[in-house]
């Protein structure tokens, strides 16, 4: 099994451990990072992604109807049933990661890691903020940021976190940004406000560069992590 596969199973175990310990009230809490869903909905989405991946149901990957169907079709399932559904599927997904492009394996892993911390934040169960799943996911999102900067001809930026660095974009570097790995990962995955990103360590024009860091949208207010 690849490093991605091992990390995926590790993240699955971590997330299942958190979810299985939650009360009904906690499962019903709105997730600040995905406010259209509560905690149980978000977990159902993660399980649903794995099943869709394993069955090849990816023609509409990322589309709102695709993601919502993962939640709606599992609305009546208990947490234990969702865990039971995910366990064998996770093994299939992890095994497949050895045979698919590392960029896609990395995105599959990173999606679980992002949502694990979305869920942890919603219920105040912070943890698991270092190790291979985070490191591999951070590297994946930094590489996707490089691709995005190049495609959009954005000012080149050096990203630094935990002793690693990535030059994203083309041409001369216009600035640097540095933060702890977990914070940089959350910023690249759209979980930090522009003001929070500006508070990282910068050289260059942070006011111009900070809004460009996220690979996705950004929250209008802090997630309070």
Partnered with residue 195 across adjacent β-strands are none
User: Pick from 67, 89, 123: which residue ends a domain?
Assistant: 123
Q: Are residues 7 and 118 in the same domain?
A: yes
Lowest-confidence pick of 44-58, 77-91, 139-153, 198-212: 44-58
Mean pLDDT within 84-105 = 93
Mean pLDDT within 122-141 = 97
Cα atoms in the Cβ-side hemisphere of radius 13 Å centred on 163? 1
Q: Per the structure, how many domains does the chain have? A: 2
The predicted pLDDT at position 72 comes to 86
At 206, the pLDDT band (50, 70, 90 cuts) reads very high
Q: Are residues 74 and 174 in the same domain?
A: no
Q: Are residues 116 and 13 in the same domain?
A: yes
Backbone torsions φ then ψ of 219, nearest 5 degrees = -70, 145
Mean pLDDT within 170-187 = 96
Mean pLDDT within 70-77 = 91
Q: 156-161 and 164-168 as β-strands: parallel, antiparallel, unpaired? A: antiparallel
CA distances from 216 to 74, 144, 148 (A): 26, 11, 10
The predicted pLDDT at position 2 comes to 67
Mean pLDDT within 200-215 = 96
Q: Are residues 160 and 67 in the same domain?
A: no
Percent of the chain predicted with pLDDT > 70: 96
Q: Is the pTM of this model over 0.85?
A: yes
Express each pLDDT in 11-31 by its tens digit. 999 999 999 999 999 999 999
Whether the pLDDT of residue 173 is over 70: the answer is: yes
Q: Are residues 44 and 112 in the same domain?
A: yes
Task: State the residue range of the domain holding 155.
Answer: 147-212
């Amino acid at each position: 099994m690849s490093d991605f596969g091992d990390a995926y199973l590790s993240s699955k175990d971590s997330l299942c451990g958190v979810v299985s310990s939650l009360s009904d009230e906690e499962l019903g809490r709105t997730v600040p990072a995905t406010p259209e869903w509560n905690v149980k909905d978000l977990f159902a989405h993660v399980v649903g992604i794995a099943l869709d991946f394993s069955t090849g149901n990816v023609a509409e990957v990322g589309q709102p109807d695709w993601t919502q169907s993962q939640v709606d079709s599992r609305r009546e399932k208990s947490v234990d049933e969702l865990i039971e559904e995910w366990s064998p599927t996770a093994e299939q997904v992890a095994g497949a990661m050895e045979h698919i492009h590392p960029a896609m394996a990395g995105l599959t892993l990173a999606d679980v890691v992002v949502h694990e911390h979305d869920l942890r934040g919603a219920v105040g169960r912070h943890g698991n903020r270092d190790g291979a799943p985070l490191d591999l996911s951070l590297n994946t999102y930094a590489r996707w940021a490089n691709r995005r900067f190049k495609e959009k001809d954005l000012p080149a930026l050096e990203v630094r976190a935990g002793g690693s660095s990535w030059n994203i974009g083309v041409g001369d570097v216009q600035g640097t940004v540095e933060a702890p790995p977990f914070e940089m990962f959350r910023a690249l995955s759209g979980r930090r406000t522009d003001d929070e990103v500006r508070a990282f360590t910068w050289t260059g024009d942070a006011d111009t560069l900070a809004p460009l860091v996220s690979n996705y949208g950004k929250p209008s207010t802090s997630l309070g992590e």
